[in-house]
Amino acid sequence: MDVVRAHAASLSRDMSPARSSRALRALVRADAVRGEDVERNPELFFAAHRAMALRANDLGPGFWIRFTVHYNLCAGTVVALGSRAQRARLRGMATRGELGCFALTERLAGVNSGLVVRTTADWDHARKVFVINSGGGDGGVKNWISQGLVADVAVVVADLRVGGKSRGPHGFLVRLRQGMTRRLTRGVSVGDMGKKTTGNDLDNAWIRFDDVAVPHDALLSKYGGVDRKTGEYVTKKEGVRTMDMIGQRLYTGRVAVAQAALVFVRRLLDDTKRYSDQKMCTMRGASPALSDVPQLRALYQEGYATLDRLDAYVAGCEKELCTHLRAKTIPSAALTQAIAVAKIKAVETAIDLAFRLKQEVGSYALMSGTGFDNTDFLQCCKFAEGDSRILSQKLARDCFTAFQQNDLESATGVKSEIELDLCQRIDEVIKDARRANPRIDKIEAWDCAWRDVYRLAEVMCERIMHERAFKAETHRSKL
């Protein structure tokens, strides 16, 4: 970790995308963090993410996003889905300082679509290659791919088709650029998404594939693949879908994002408090410091107490997830739900605290270098690895589905009287909408109850946090 911390400390403000990518290449070559660490040493993996997040107040989100895209989304997916030989390629990539990206999201599909994508990968048995295509129009063009302009390789999520039959989304390790010249692979085209409000040291790309032929061993085939001899699809582990394993990196990513948001806002509080402790206000008698103004003092007290609670909660999620990562097992529905709560509450609380703090410290919050100039980092956290609103919708929908099915045993179902009441209210709103318009579709009817849906999600978040905190305290008291 000393190498990681030293590298983070060496990063400078206002880096260009080229300089930022060179800095990550240097860290990759240093081998202080390895792609395999997400399973072999997940505590180091998360600690390295937190170390990088400490610089987000100075640098903005760009370098932290580069780091997590390479180590979590790209290398981490190879670790989760790849064969032994494919995992071994990560070592060669590290030696050469090569960078990876994760090509999932498209202009019309992505994380929020259940990994349904328009990009296709057809098995050509005669040539023994997969042919990747974005399809007609621009709906299947990969969109907002972080590090996509400079990455050497990509994990491309595409709909695998064998003999014309769809086998669902699969990951392919695709070389975007070739050799020392780093020329784009034939059939690959890329472009810049444009200037952003923050993180312009990070390139965000669109990527298009037109008849890109990749070898048989490009398919990350640990759980499902194509028999090279017969051309038939082979399921390698019954009951485990490749799509589910692709989603594993969303869980590690959500924990890392939650921790990054908390690290950012805690440092913002620390730095602002140092300023307000020294800022003297005239005519305040025995308590002249700005920090002594009652509303600001109360905000500091509330902020630190809230962050302590959230830090403990997210750390508990990390610890439990690390057990699954080492064992290479799929997290339970309860842990998956708890991780979603961690991401929602950490990010939304950080945004709220940063905004409220800004209102209390005057012109200081307008100054460059205070951290307030990079609070859009928290907006990046909000939509990364599943938008907070979408995660809230899923919490509520899972609970409501269990309510409709009268499933009292569901780990994600109704667990309190207020949740039951909200499910009943949502049910009534949906029924009223259908009575008013018998042709209303399912999503539109659900949207009619949107206020109660988000209220249900919020109630569930607080209940889940309370339950896990109580469980942890009970466990400690028995030690």
The average confidence (pLDDT) of the chain is: 93
Task: Report how far residue 192's alpha carbon sits from residue 147's, in angstroms, rounded to the nearest whole number.
Answer: 10
Task: Report how far residue 102's alpha carbon sits from residue 246's, in angstroms, rounded to the nearest whole number.
Answer: 11
Task: Report how far residue 437's alpha carbon sits from residue 123's, in angstroms, rounded to the nearest whole number.
Answer: 46
Please name the residue that has the structure tokens 């952003």: 196
Three-class secondary structure of residue 361 per DSSP: coil
Can you give the pLDDT at residue 477?
A: 66
Q: Reply yes or no on whether the pLDDT at 281 is more than 90.
A: no
| For range 70-87, the mean pLDDT | 94
Question: In this structure, how many other beta carbons lie within 10 angstroms of the beta carbon of residue 54?
Answer: 18
Q: Reply yes or no on whether the pLDDT at 113 is more than 60.
A: no
Task: Report how far residue 448's alpha carbon sits from residue 437's, in angstroms, rounded to the nearest whole number.
Answer: 12
| For range 449-457, the mean pLDDT | 98
Do 335 and 324 meet the contact criterion of CB atoms below 8 Å apart? Answer: yes
Q: Which of 96, 111, 133 is the last residue of a domain?
A: 96
Residue scoring higher pLDDT (285 or 341): 341
The verdict on 206 and 123 lying in the same domain is yes
| For range 149-169, the mean pLDDT | 95
The verdict on 271 and 329 lying in the same domain is yes
Can you give the pLDDT at residue 103?
A: 95
Task: Report how far residue 338's alpha carbon sits from residue 344's, in angstroms, rounded to the nearest whole number.
Answer: 10
Rounded percentage of the chain residues whose pLDDT exceeds 70: 97
Residues 205-248 have pLDDT tens digits of 999 999 999 999 999 998 889 999 999 999 887 767 776 777 77
Please name the residue that has the structure tokens 């269990």: 402
Q: Which of 96, 115, 145 is the last residue of a domain?
A: 96
The verdict on 217 and 69 lying in the same domain is no
Can you give the pLDDT at residue 114?
A: 55
Can you give the pLDDT at residue 192?
A: 96
Q: Reply yes or no on whether the pLDDT at 112 is more than 60.
A: no
Q: Reply yes or no on whether the pLDDT at 141 is more than 80.
A: yes
Q: How confident is the model at residue 315 (pLDDT cuts 50, 70, 90)?
A: very high
Can you give the pLDDT at residue 295?
A: 96
User: How far is residue 302 from each of residues 69, 353, 461, measured CA to CA in Å?
Assistant: 33, 9, 19
The verdict on 125 and 66 lying in the same domain is no
* 165: region left, alpha or beta (phi > 0 left; psi from -120 to 50 alpha): beta
Task: Report how far residue 313's alpha carbon sits from residue 111's, in angstroms, rounded to the nearest whole number.
Answer: 25
Q: Give the number of domains in the chain.
A: 3
CATH assignment at residue 304: 1.20.140.10
Rounded percentage of the chain residues whose pLDDT exceeds 90: 80
Residues 23-36 have pLDDT tens digits of 999 999 999 999 99
Can you give the pLDDT at residue 179?
A: 83
Q: Which of 183, 211, 240 is the last residue of a domain?
A: 240
Can you give the pLDDT at residue 116?
A: 77
Q: Reply yes or no on whether the pLDDT at 306 is more than 60.
A: yes
Can you give the pLDDT at residue 478?
A: 65
| For range 292-299, the mean pLDDT | 95
User: How far is residue 425 from each of residues 257, 394, 446, 455, measured CA to CA in Å?
Assistant: 33, 17, 12, 11
The verdict on 324 and 387 lying in the same domain is yes
| For range 361-379, the mean pLDDT | 94
Q: Reply yes or no on whether the pLDDT at 328 is more than 70.
A: yes
User: What tokens were used for 460?
Assistant: 């569930």
The verdict on 335 and 447 lying in the same domain is yes
Listed in sequence order, the residues at least 6 apart from 122 whose beta carbon sits closer than 8 Å to its beta carbon are 130, 131, 133, 161
Segment 23-27 long-range contacts (CB within 8 Å, at least 24 positions apart): 23/63, 24/63, 24/66, 24/67, 24/70, 24/99, 25/97, 25/98, 25/99, 26/97, 27/67
* 198: region left, alpha or beta (phi > 0 left; psi from -120 to 50 alpha): beta
Task: Report how far residue 7's alpha carbon sits from residue 175's, in angstroms, rounded to the nearest whole number.
Answer: 27
Q: 477 pairs with which residues across the strands? A: none
Can you give the pLDDT at residue 433?
A: 97
What is the 8-class DSSP label of residue 74? I
The verdict on 127 and 213 lying in the same domain is yes
User: What tokens were used for 439?
Assistant: 């042709």
CATH assignment at residue 176: 2.40.110.10
Listed in sequence order, the residues at least 6 apart from 278 whose beta carbon sits closer than 8 Å to its beta carbon are 289
Please name the residue that has the structure tokens 């300023």: 275
The verdict on 172 and 54 lying in the same domain is no
Do 87 and 78 meet the contact criterion of CB atoms below 8 Å apart? Answer: yes
Angle between helices 2-10 and 17-30 in degrees, nearest 10: 160
The verdict on 181 and 123 lying in the same domain is yes
Task: Report how far residue 180's alpha carbon sits from residue 177's, in angstroms, rounded to the nearest whole number.
Answer: 9
Question: In this structure, how many other beta carbons lie within 10 angstroms of the beta carbon of residue 200?
Answer: 17
Residues 459-469 have pLDDT tens digits of 999 999 999 99
Three-class secondary structure of residue 238 per DSSP: coil
Do 59 and 11 meet the contact criterion of CB atoms below 8 Å apart? Answer: yes
The verdict on 189 and 323 lying in the same domain is no
Is the C-alpha dihedral spanning 363, 55, 150, 47 positive or negative? negative
pTM for this model (two decimals): 0.92
User: What tokens were used for 169?
Assistant: 């989304």
The verdict on 297 and 354 lying in the same domain is yes
Can you give the pLDDT at residue 325?
A: 94
| For range 31-50, the mean pLDDT | 95
Angle between helices 388-404 and 450-478 in degrees, nearest 10: 90
The verdict on 29 and 109 lying in the same domain is no
| For range 429-457, the mean pLDDT | 97
> Which domain range does residue 173 map to?
100-240
